[in-house]
Amino acid sequence: MRVKNTLPLVGGVTMLVILPLLLLGLCASVVITSGRHGSDFATFYDAGRAVLHGHSPYPSLASLPNVADRLFAPFVYPPVAAYSMIPLSVLPFGVAVVVYFLLNVAAVGLALRLLGVSDWRCYSIAFASAPVYAAIGVGTFSPLLLLGVAAAWRYRDRALAVGLLLAYVMTAKVFLWPLWLWLVRTRRFAAAGIAAGAALTAVVASWAAIGFAGLGEYPRLLARMTQLEGPRSYSLYSLLRSLGAGDGAAQVVVYGVALGALLAALLFVRGDREWLVATLGIALVATPILWPHYLVLLFVPVALMRRQLSHLWIAMLILWPDAAGWSAGNPLKILGLLVFTAAIVWLGAGGRVNLRRLSRAKLSTVVSAALVVAAIAAGSAAAAEPGQMVTIDSAPTTVSRGGLDHIRAIVVGSPTCSLSVRYADGATRVLPVHHVDTWRVQWTWRVGPSAAPGRATATVICSAALRARAAFLVRP
């Protein structure tokens, strides 16, 4: 009698059990031991405490730095998100962060359950994936957004439930507003009305409760955040910036692509599930800041397509080889993540287009819209300093006199750059010209023992109009 070799099967099952548990344990360790440093939850916690006492949770524009480092995480969400954190903000921070960690873990599991997933191996893969690890480890909102979208799908035929759920999702993360179009396109007009009305009421009421503090400069705050963090994320905007497009041109192209995607959805996408996935994809295309943890939302199309373990679930592990939180402006890294995202959305939204079934009128509409978008994008790009960009990727924050430090910049459109350091007493030190190597240039220098303590400024100079500046503190 032949006996099957079950060792590979046992090994696979063991990995599917142990790996997620190890990653969750590592997440818990990072969340609990890191405290307030490098945690998005600390931002939400402080925002909840601020609105609890009637204060604005928003930073002033003047307080924003010249360059964003990895610990830069100001609160820039609508105040509804801050108010939802009040129950946790009344707890000691150490207790609150553990509770929030458990809520995020539960949110991922419950979201998959609401999407109809019953195969335990799918849950294991989800918790072993890089987006979920990043979302839970950093303490972000993304698992709760995944739960909100999953619940909206589950209760999509209950107008009040789906309307209130999408209202919260859209006010917690503004970039998800295209999901409202799913309700309109599938003729859930009552739910769409409830979602729009509830979202507007919640935003106005929550802002009124803090005296509309920060409302006047909120659009400029979002624009400044886009400039600071957008080029370091994985969005289409960051890809265009990494290729040399100016801020204005990149945003116009992104909006044009999002508009084109919406038109394509109107022409080609059919079905309830397909429209939910399509609007989710439009949201991910249109956002100027896209972090890897946003991709927990891709479990929505994956779960709706395959409720049992399949190659689509396994594909979600592909993101681990490059799981860095920041793209550092590397176009190849950004493009890889965008292509992966587009592939999942494409499959979830239908997967193919039969051009033979298109009428000439539809083809004419598609071609005309594409030409208009291309003309607008080309005109904007021509008017917005194409081919030039410099942004500081890594800079010192505090350095002692006599200490060694460095600064690194990402540069497009210039072969050489120099660095000028100005100390608090006005003394200036110019470092030698360096050649740009694969979009990067870096200097290392020692702060003199007699350097004036206080605020110093480092300026990367690549041309008369191509500069980036970062401030740091010199300690005695």
Residues 427 and 314 in one domain: no
- Reading the chain (476 residues) residue by residue, the pLDDT tens digits are 444 444 344 445 555 667 666 766 766 666 666 666 657 888 899 999 999 988 889 888 777 776 666 666 788 888 999 999 999 999 998 899 889 989 999 999 999 999 999 998 899 899 888 899 888 888 888 999 999 999 999 999 999 999 999 999 999 999 999 999 999 999 999 999 999 999 999 999 999 999 888 888 888 888 888 888 888 889 999 998 888 787 788 888 998 999 989 998 888 888 899 999 999 999 999 999 999 899 999 999 999 999 998 888 988 988 876 656 778 778 888 888 999 999 999 988 876 544 444 455 554 554 455 445 444 444 444 443 444 567 777 777 788 888 888 888 877 667 788 898 989 888 888 888 888 876 678 888 888 888 888 888 888 888 766 778 888 888 88
- Measure the CA–CA gap between 303 and 342, rounded to whole angstroms: 16
Shared domain check, 178 and 80: yes
**Domain of residue 423, CATH code:** 2.60.40.1930
Centre a 10 Å sphere on the Cβ of residue 321 and count the other Cβ atoms it contains: 8
Residues 327 and 423 in one domain: no
Range of the domain at 404: 389-475
Please report whether residue 114 resides in a domain: yes
For residue 379, tell me if it sits in a domain.
no
CA proximity to 377, closest of 253, 261, 259: 253
Same domain assignment for residues 245 and 125: yes
One domain for residues 297 and 412 = no
Distance CA 253, CA 238 (A): 11
For residues 351 and 420, state if they share a domain: no
Number of structural domains the chain divides into: 2
Please choose, from the candidates 175, 181, 285, 294, the residue with its C-alpha nearest in 3D space to the C-alpha of residue 238.
285
How far apart CA 388 and CA 241 sit, in angstroms, is 9
The closest alpha carbon to 408, from 441, 431, 432, 439, belongs to 441
Considering the domain architecture, whether residues 295 and 415 belong to the same structural domain is answered as no
- Is position 367 within any domain? no
Q: Is residue 230 part of a domain?
A: yes
Residues 412 and 469 reside in one and the same domain:
yes
Which DSSP letter does residue 297 get?
A: G
CB atoms within 10 A of CB 339: 9
pTM above 0.85, yes or no: no
Looking at the DSSP bridge assignments, the partners of residue 428 are 422
**Which helix (DSSP H) or strand (DSSP E) does residue 172 occupy?**
helix 159-172
328 and 435 assigned to the same domain? no
Confirm whether 264 is domain-assigned: yes
CA gap 287, 230 in Å, rounded:
9
326 and 438 inside one domain: no
5: DSSP letter: -
Same domain, 397 and 352: no
What is the Cα–Cα distance from 141 to 128, expressed in whole angstroms?
Answer: 18
| Helix (H/G/I), strand (E/B), else coil: 206 | helix
Residues 297 and 88: their CA atoms lie apart, in Å, by 24
d(CA 414, CA 333): 21
From 304, 332, 356, the end of a domain falls on: 356
Examine the domain organization and report whether 348 and 395 are in the same domain: no
- Examine residue 315 and state whether it is found in any structural domain, yes or no: yes
